[in-house]
Amino acid sequence: MSAEIVGSMIDYVPVEDGNTALIRRMADKATRIVTLTVTEGGYYIDPSTGEFDASHPDIRHDIAQIERPRTAFGAIVAALKIRRFQGIGPLTCQSCDNLQGNGTVLRRTVVSLARSIEPDLAEWIDTNCSFPCSMVDCIVPATGPDELDLVRNFGIDDAVPVTHENFRQWVIEDDFCAGRPDWSQVGVTFSNRVQDYETMKIRMLNAGHQIVAIPGEILSVESVSDCISDSLIQAFFRKVQRDEIMPQMKPVPDITPENYLELLVQRFTNPALSDTTRRVCFDGSSRHAGFILPIIRDGLKSGTSVNGLALVEALWARMCEGTREDGSIIEPNDPFWNDLQYTARIARHHPRAWLEQSRVYGDLVNAEDFAEKFERWLSEIWSNGSKSAVKAYTAI
């Protein structure tokens, strides 16, 4: 392990009422690129439709008072409005979140918000600004006592250190309307195949995290490294990947899906990361909608098995009931926890109630093949336990 002082962060502006300082900084002619990391659930997109959610209270506020926005996207629109009026020119807005087509999603949110305020501004943004897609791959655990102790052992006093694994990959679409630094000198790959890279990463790593962490949470396994070191959970992870996820993957330069799978096992096994199942399971309502359900939909279209993925969803429903199999309590771990827990308790006796959460599943409740498998697995989990269900699947 090693420590490094990151010198690239030279200033910051506070998030404040009205976000005046932030807008001023983005409207400055010296600013050419704005990057966002706001989590995959933070783009005000309705997961059941994929469309912009203009009904959210924060968005309604920004539409009414764009000069004093609450959201990051409102601040971007406000800054772009100033840049257009003053003839400064457009910006490149780059998402760094774990979203497939993240640049497309960011464009949709920014342009849709602008259209609700000033249609001509929306047209200008859509025509002139760039929203490149990107894929970043590096496991970064939440900072806790272990990470703080680690930094102190290096003789560094830092209240908010960031720890991460050695593996790093950043692939960016080369679409920058106002120029860009030569980030390739520090390891960035510029490619017109970002979608293939991100599909492999999101469907194998991010969905894979859910595959190992959810049964781990139910079975009181606290870290991802302990989950993947459990022979049953690792067998489950490998079978779902090989039977249901990897058949949909396109190889990318320098790595095959099988090689990436072995790399993931090595990365997940790293005990130095201290990556917790709780962190990985957080905000499941967004992570399942973004990472797992697209695989299920594509599998249903192509005829690929979704049996193991149906089991993953059943395990999530079991987890959201709020107790582990040893009887201990799972603390709220999702912005919609109360709704999820209420529905999970109903689903114990009426499994399809879980799939009727249209905000998460859309019309998947009507996909009979998937719904039947989900119903069977959730009944098995409640009747005989999660281990029994996972063993039954891995034995197929």
Least confidently predicted of 194-198, 231-235, 328-332: 194-198
Q: Tell me the whole-structure pTM to 2 decimals.
A: 0.78
Would you state the pLDDT for residue 142?
A: 83
In contact, 296 and 306? CB cutoff 8 Å: yes
Stretch 320-342: mean pLDDT: 97
20-190 with 194-394: one CATH topology?
no
Dist. CA 329–CA 346, nearest whole Å: 18
Dist. CA 97–CA 83, nearest whole Å: 25
Q: pLDDT digits over 264-321, tens only?
A: 999 999 988 878 999 999 999 999 998 999 999 999 999 999 999 999 999 999 999 9
Statement: residue 380 has pLDDT above 80: yes
Would you state the pLDDT for residue 4?
A: 87
Query: For the domain 194-394, what is the CATH superfamily, name and number?
Result: N-(1-d-carboxylethyl)-l-norvaline Dehydrogenase; domain 2 (1.10.1040.10)
Place of tokens 């704005």: 34
Percent of the chain exceeding pLDDT 70 equals: 100
Select from 23, 34, 26, 58 the least CA-distant residue to 44: 58
pLDDT-based confidence at residue 8 (cuts at 50, 70, 90): confident
Q: pLDDT digits over 154-175, tens only?
A: 898 888 899 899 899 999 999 9
Place of tokens 């052992």: 153
Stretch 209-215: mean pLDDT: 98
Would you state the pLDDT for residue 140?
A: 87
Q: What is the mean pLDDT of the chain?
A: 94
pLDDT-based confidence at residue 225 (cuts at 50, 70, 90): very high
Statement: residue 94 has pLDDT above 80: yes
pLDDT-based confidence at residue 113 (cuts at 50, 70, 90): very high
Place of tokens 């039977």: 243
In contact, 208 and 228? CB cutoff 8 Å: no
Statement: residue 48 has pLDDT above 80: no
Statement: residue 47 has pLDDT above 80: no
Would you state the pLDDT for residue 258?
A: 95
Stretch 361-375: mean pLDDT: 96
Domains of the chain, residue spans: 20-190, 194-394
Dist. CA 223–CA 36, nearest whole Å: 28
Would you state the pLDDT for residue 252?
A: 87
Percent of the chain exceeding pLDDT 90 equals: 80
Stretch 102-118: mean pLDDT: 97
For the 20-190 domain, the top CATH level (class) is alpha beta
Statement: residue 40 has pLDDT above 90: no
Select from 231, 258, 290, 236 the least CA-distant residue to 98: 290
Would you state the pLDDT for residue 145?
A: 87
**First-to-last C-alpha distance (Å) of the chain:** 41
Distance, CA of 155 to chain centre? 33
Record the tokens describing residue 284, joined without a space. Answer: 């499941």
pLDDT-based confidence at residue 56 (cuts at 50, 70, 90): very high
pLDDT-based confidence at residue 134 (cuts at 50, 70, 90): very high
Statement: residue 61 has pLDDT above 90: yes
